[in-house]
Amino acid sequence: MSMTLARSYLFVPGDRPERFDKAIAAGADAVIVDLEDAVAPDAKDAARAHLRRWLSADHPVCVRINAAGSRWFAGDLALCSHPGVACIVLPKAERASDVQAVVDAGARSILPLVESALGLWNAAELCRAPNVARLVFGAIDFSLDAGIVEGHESLLYARSQLVLVSRVAGIAAPVDGVTVALDDPGAVSTDTERARKLGFGAKLCIHPKQIAAVHAAFMPTAQELDWARRVQATEGAAVAVDGKMVDRPVRLLAEQMLAEAARRTLTNKETP
């Protein structure tokens, strides 16, 4: 499974080693073992030790380490080159130098987590840092830092900026933040559909129950696919489909939609 194609990233607390294998089996495209927010300060060292013992190239995972400047950062860096670590999620990412420290420790793929106004301001710089695969949006922490009341409309600018700079830098579409509702698949679907329409390519999950809704939302709908097939069947100069003009850019959009659906279907078959 290619991490750049992942639609879902499932968090599992780093101090709960009994959940690691369950997280792998839950059906997410990628698993993030969290050594940061999910672990209390007095349990950080034990969590890192649990993870080090469990890590294996047979089941590669992402690891969210603690932020640069924290007292646990140096110890977490020792995990970066482990063959069982597919990528490093770097929280509170704000500067390319933060990423470079993780690269120097041996990380092969990095997902900077944009959680502050400064991180958003420097998002283009983060995109161009070495070994960065895609950006991740930490909506809750960003709202707190920027003094914004979290909501879809209030964070449109921030989300759109992450999509734009990712596209310009030529890296994978960014990962949207979590939906905190654990027992509301409708909320997960709505949040994910909005993120997809904005240009996001994946979403963070905090519970296995959210995975199916995320995967479904990142697939084009039956109506969209029907439209794309009918557009693809048109040829020549501009014509109308469903009363709307179809020209070359629209045909390319339809082809892109069909190709994405085919790729996602293949990913579903390949993912355990």
pLDDT tens string 23-81: 999 999 999 999 999 999 999 999 999 999 999 999 999 999 999 999 999 999 999 99
The 10s digit of each residue's pLDDT in 108-151 is: 999 999 999 999 999 999 999 999 999 999 999 999 999 998 77
- Other Cβ atoms less than 10 A from the Cβ of 6: the count is 26
Its sign, for the CA torsion 163, 156, 113, 207, is negative
Percent of the chain with pLDDT over 70: 81
Report the pLDDT value the prediction gives residue 269, as an integer from 0 to 100. Answer: 42
CATH code of domain 3-217: 3.20.20.60
Q: Rounded CA gap, 199 and 169, in Å? A: 14
Report the pLDDT value the prediction gives residue 105, as an integer from 0 to 100. Answer: 97
Please give the C-alpha separations between residue 130 and each of 101, 112, 173, 198, in angstroms, as whole numbers. Answer: 10, 11, 17, 25
- Helix (H) / strand (E) element for 182: namely none
Q: Rounded CA gap, 230 and 213, in Å? A: 27
* Token digits of residue 97: 């130098």
Give the pTM: 0.85
Percent of the chain with pLDDT over 90: 74
